[in-house]
Amino acid sequence: MRLTTRSWRDEQGWVSPRAEGFDSVDVKQLAPDVLDDQVGIRAERTAAEPPAGAPPSGLAQLSRPLRAVTGAAVAFCLVGTVAHLLMVCLYVAPVNPVSQRYSKQIDAWIDPLFDQNWQLFAPEPQSANWQISARTMYAGPGGRPQVSSWFDLTALDNAAIRHDVFPSHTAQNTLRRAWTAYVGAFGAGDQADSSWAVLVRDYLRNIAVDRVEAHRSGAVESIQLRVVTQPIAAQPVPGGPRPARPAAEIRDLPWWKVPS
């Protein structure tokens, strides 16, 4: 195809622009810069058009069933994201008729993986620091049980976030929230009296096993946790004596069998 124009004269003489590969266009008494702009626009449009017989790109190259599956997956992810955000908002929001009516459904969705320990507009400050350690039991030579030394899980979390400008929310809260959930379900004892208590116990055990196995080799048949609770001292009164540091509480949990 060819660009045809009506000849016109400028200060330099007769000019008849010719170009190939563009649609025909008539140019009547146009300045050279305007003509260049129109030719450039035509070139961009022609270059943007895919050549005849070119294979389709993007989703168009997928078969119809595969496009339907892809669309359904995207829609499912969007609906799931919106539902999750809605559940979290209802969980942390102040008590309202909607959260009261659907409290069972909201708790079942949030606990234990997305558990929160704060309320919107009313945060719950931490009143103690916990040091959680674990040791494992495994069968040694001759089938005799062997017990490992204590492994500090809290120190592992602290090392992961120390000097980190953007510390991981998971490293900060997963183990700590699992322990506070255990205390809330069991209190001062260790006997599960509900399915929720069993779920929380298994959740805490699995977190400890995963972290021990990631840093120590060997099979783990049973695991035991030790939790040292150090209450946070009150702020001193201006001009008064500094309050004594509260005594730490040590709690050893029972041995838990690790599923194979």
Is pLDDT at 150 greater than 90 in this prediction? yes
CA atoms within 13 A on the CB side of 252: 6
> Phi first, then psi: what are they for 32, rounded to 5°?
-60, -40
Q: Which of 171, 231, 174 is nearest to 206 (CA)?
A: 174
Name the residue with higher pLDDT: 93 or 37: 93
pLDDT: which is higher, 259 or 240:
259
| pTM (predicted TM-score) | 0.57
Res. 9 pLDDT band, cuts 50 70 90: very low
Residue tagged 């779920």 (tokens): 199
Q: How many CA atoms lie within 13 A of 159 on its CB side?
A: 5
3-state secondary structure of 91: helix
**Tens-digit pLDDT profile for residues 27-43:** 444 455 554 555 555 55
Statement: residue 236 has pLDDT above 80: no
Kindly state the tokens that stand for 225: 């946790």
- Each residue's pLDDT tens digit, 41-91: 555 555 555 555 556 666 667 788 888 888 899 999 999 999 999 998 888
Q: How confident is the model at residue 115 (pLDDT cuts 50, 70, 90)?
A: confident
Q: What average pLDDT does the chain have?
A: 79
